[in-house]
Amino acid sequence: MHEFVAMRDLFEAGGAVPKPLAVSDNAILMHYIGNAQLAAPTLNHVRLEHDEAEALFEEVLRNIKLMLAHDIVHGDLSAHNVLYWSDDITDATITLIDFPQVVNVYGNDQAYNILQRDIQRICEYFAQQGVDRDASALTQTLWQDYVEE
């Protein structure tokens, strides 16, 4: 239920997550990302142009900030848990998935380290796409802005 609630709250707040539709004891039914022929691939299977990579990095960052504003950290964020979908280059979107490891920033004494690992993984992927960011500085700034305020 923890994963479902996190996804529902993020979706309702405008997060780039699949719309959660229903939950049972061990499964979450959510909105499908893709089309009839193809499910959206994970970001690690996609090569991006620099301008697109910049925009998608900023969208991932927006979602990390949104999670922090809701007192949570993804816990397993990487290019493996970000879906990429585009019907054409002008309409590319990302969708964050796989939230069972989500942690509360105030309820887990390792939350800062988990956030740092999430940001490091995202920065490593985007560095390969030509977007170079300092993961440590970014983590510290976000933590100060959203958790220590």
CATH number reported for the structural domain that contains residue 15 in this entry: 1.10.510.10
pLDDT at 88: 67
Reported confidence tier of residue 91, pLDDT bands at 50, 70, 90: confident
Q: How far is CA 121 from CA 18, 44, 98, 127, 136, in A?
A: 21, 11, 15, 10, 11
User: Residue 135 above 90 pLDDT?
Assistant: yes
pLDDT at 106: 96
Q: Where are the alpha helices (DSSP H) in the chain?
A: 2-12, 50-69, 111-128, 135-146
pLDDT at 90: 59
Token code pair at residue 108: 């887990």
Q: Please give the mean pLDDT across all residues of the chain.
A: 94
User: Residue 107 above 60 pLDDT?
Assistant: yes
pLDDT at 89: 54
Q: Out of 33-37, 71-75, 103-107, which region has the weakest mean confidence (pLDDT)?
A: 33-37
Reported confidence tier of residue 26, pLDDT bands at 50, 70, 90: confident
pTM here?
0.94
Mean pLDDT of 68-92: 90
User: Residue 101 above 90 pLDDT?
Assistant: yes
Range of 142's domain? 2-146
**Total domain count for the chain?**
1
Task: Count CB-CB contacts under 10 A for residue 95.
Answer: 22
Q: What is the pLDDT of residues 39-72, one digit of tens each?
A: 999 999 999 999 999 999 999 999 999 999 999 9
